[in-house]
Amino acid sequence: MPAEWEPHAATWLAWPHYRDDWPGKFEPIPWVYAEIIRHLARHERVELIVSDVASERRARNVLERANSLSDNVRFHRRPTNRVWTRDSGCTFVSSDPAGSTANHVGTAAPGRPAGSKTRQLLAVKWRFNAWSKYPNWQHDEKIGTHMAKTAGARELRPVFGKQRVVLEGGSIDVNGQGTLLTTEECLLSKVQQRNPAMSRADYEKVFADYLGIKSVVWLGAGIEGDDTHGHVDDLTRFVAPDTVVTVVESDPNDTNYEPLRENIRRLRAATDQDGKSLAIIELPMPAPVIFEGRRLPASYGNFYIANGVVLAPVFNDPNDRFALDILADLFPDRDVVGIYSGDLIWGFGAMHCMTQQQPAV
């Protein structure tokens, strides 16, 4: 699995339409999407999934009015339940010239025989069950297959025993060299209903076989308000092969304070695929974002790295500027753009949750 900062062929998004994901706050959401698409389309193709003809018409109208419609935006009419393509979509991977990734599962990309000297694009299609929380996920479960076919990638479906493996893209992050980040809360805790029969070793075997992973760094718990049971893309992200950023809470009375301290302790003890320690850069948390009495999963860690640009959620918080400055120092060759996400986060996701990169091969 390539690192997110490696060259992309495209970014996949799904146009928002399910109003119940932002009850009482849906109206600004399409305009937030338009801003995101405007920045992305300047640097790479945007593959935009719309539910039907009417949804495409509405999307085109918003994008045109926001100066975000360009030839770099391609529309795909497929029904969706929600917009969190990071989790419902496939995970694109590539094989090396020897076809090692393909050999694990006995497949090769269409038209490219195993052993071809050209890197092969493959699509790992996890089973999606809406984070074991919502009943309406049947359309989203099919989106990864559509993405794979459109990209010309062979679809791989990980299985444990006789069951397909349930996983969301937001629960993992990689350095492109063989090291993966995830959390125990998401994959191993008793409350999760993804793969209750799978152990730590079972997950590591799946990651090795399908993503080429040699070392897994297990963090503990996620942030308060995250309804995915602790996705790592709100917590800790690779920004270079040997470097991670991890969110920290400065207020000892905040519920995030101790869990995030524990994650740093684990990172300090962790090693990469070569047995080397990781460089750790701290990223502040914004003040709690609360709406209708509920704390939302606001985190600067949910940024997205695209060709030439990094999109980062901001919340009209004093720490916005510190977070953007840290990311700008880490990505000097990319524009770092803050996207106001105070409304977007009411849907329990931000930049990284809504995007899925298709690597260039």
**Tens digit of each residue's pLDDT (9 = 90 or more) over 270-322:** 999 999 999 999 999 999 999 999 999 999 999 999 999 999 999 999 999 99
Q: What phi and psi values does residue 6 have, to the nearest 5 degrees?
A: -70, 160
Cα dihedral 230, 235, 236, 237 sign? positive
What does the pLDDT average to over 40-64?
97
Asked if residues 299 and 285 have their Cβ atoms less than 8 Å apart, the reply is yes
Cα dihedral 349, 180, 47, 67 sign? positive
Q: What phi and psi values does residue 72 have, to the nearest 5 degrees?
A: -85, 5
> Catalytic annotation on 353?
yes
Higher pLDDT, 100 or 276: 276
Amino acid at site 123: A
CA–CA separation, 111 and 19 (whole Å): 41
Q: Taking CA 235 as the corner, what is the angle to CA 84 and CA 327, rounded to the nearest 5 degrees?
A: 95
Q: Which residues pair with 91 in a beta bridge?
A: 124
Is the pLDDT at 85 greater than 50? The verdict is: yes
* Look-up of token digits 């063989």: 178
pLDDT band, residue 114 (cuts 50/70/90): very low
Share of the chain above pLDDT 90, in %: 89
Mean predicted lDDT score pLDDT of the chain:
93
CA–CA separation, 59 and 280 (whole Å): 40
What does the pLDDT average to over 109-115?
40
Q: Measured between alpha carbons, how far is residue 177 from residues 34, 208, 215, 240 in Å? A: 33, 12, 10, 10
Is the pLDDT at 99 greater than 70? The verdict is: no
CA–CA separation, 40 and 37 (whole Å): 5
Catalytic residue (one of 143, 151, 156, 353): 353
What does the pLDDT average to over 317-345?
98
CA–CA separation, 91 and 147 (whole Å): 10
pLDDT at 106: 36
CA–CA separation, 248 and 235 (whole Å): 9
pLDDT at 102: 39
pLDDT at 132: 85
**Tens digit of each residue's pLDDT (9 = 90 or more) over 194-218:** 999 999 999 999 999 999 999 999 9
Q: Please report the domains of the chain, with CATH numbers, ordered by start residue.
A: 8-359 (3.75.10.10)
pLDDT at 113: 41
pLDDT at 97: 55
Is the pLDDT at 42 greater than 80? The verdict is: yes
Cα dihedral 218, 219, 220, 221 sign? negative
Q: Among 11, 143, 152, which Cα is nearest to 90's? A: 143
What does the pLDDT average to over 89-98?
85
pLDDT band, residue 17 (cuts 50/70/90): very high
pLDDT at 98: 55
DSSP state of 81: S
Asked if residues 29 and 344 have their Cβ atoms less than 8 Å apart, the reply is yes
Share of the chain above pLDDT 70, in %: 94
pLDDT band, residue 361 (cuts 50/70/90): confident
- Winning range, highest mean pLDDT, from 27-31, 111-115, 188-192: 27-31
Asked if residues 48 and 74 have their Cβ atoms less than 8 Å apart, the reply is yes
Asked if residues 167 and 203 have their Cβ atoms less than 8 Å apart, the reply is no
Q: What is the pTM of this model?
A: 0.93
What does the pLDDT average to over 224-249?
96
